């Protein structure tokens, strides 16, 4: 559901004020349509983090420091890789962003509930 004209003006004023008050934070919180979350990155990162935890535990139990440190590094790298965004963006994500269709039934149901509440308040 699109925002009303009044809501759009309020949102623009809030964005403008945020950019004036803290431009660095506003830029970091802004959405970049060219950068999307990648499921592949998430899965590989989680697997690497789990492998790092296993290496860390092996290093601690065998008291070999180098294995523990390597496990810690692998674990940190896995977490970093899992939270990294895909800079190129996928065609599916860009196509979904351009279409006016809702992304999921969950969001549709939330919008419907919001509309019902607004009607009840009136």
Max Cα–Cα distance, the chain, nearest Å:
69
Domain membership flag for residue 46 = yes
The count of structural domains within the chain is 1
pTM for the whole thing? 0.46
Domain membership flag for residue 8 = no
Domain membership flag for residue 108 = no
> What are 23-60's pLDDT values in tens digits?
777 777 765 555 567 788 889 999 999 999 999 999 99
DSSP codes joined into one string, 64-90: -HHHHHHHHHHHHHHHHHHHPEESS--
Domain membership flag for residue 107 = no
Looking at residue 3, the DSSP 8-state letter turns out to be P
> What are 9-22's pLDDT values in tens digits?
888 888 888 888 88
pLDDT value at residue 90? 44
Domain membership flag for residue 54 = yes
Domain membership flag for residue 28 = no
Expressed as residue numbers, the domain containing 44 is 36-89
């Amino acid at each position: 559901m699109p925002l009303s004209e009044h809501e759009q003006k309020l949102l623009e004023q809030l964005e403008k004020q945020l950019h004036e008050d803290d431009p660095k934070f506003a830029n970091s919180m802004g959405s970049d349509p060219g950068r999307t979350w990648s499921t592949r990155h998430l899965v590989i990162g989680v697997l690497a983090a789990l492998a790092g935890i296993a290496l860390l535990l092996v290093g601690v139990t065998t008291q070999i420091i180098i294995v523990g440190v390597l496990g810690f590094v692998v674990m940190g790298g896995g977490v970093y890789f899992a939270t990294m965004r895909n800079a190129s963006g996928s065609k599916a994500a860009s196509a979904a962003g351009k279409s006016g269709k809702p992304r999921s039934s969950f969001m549709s149901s939330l919008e419907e509930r919001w509309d019902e509440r607004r009607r009840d308040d009136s």
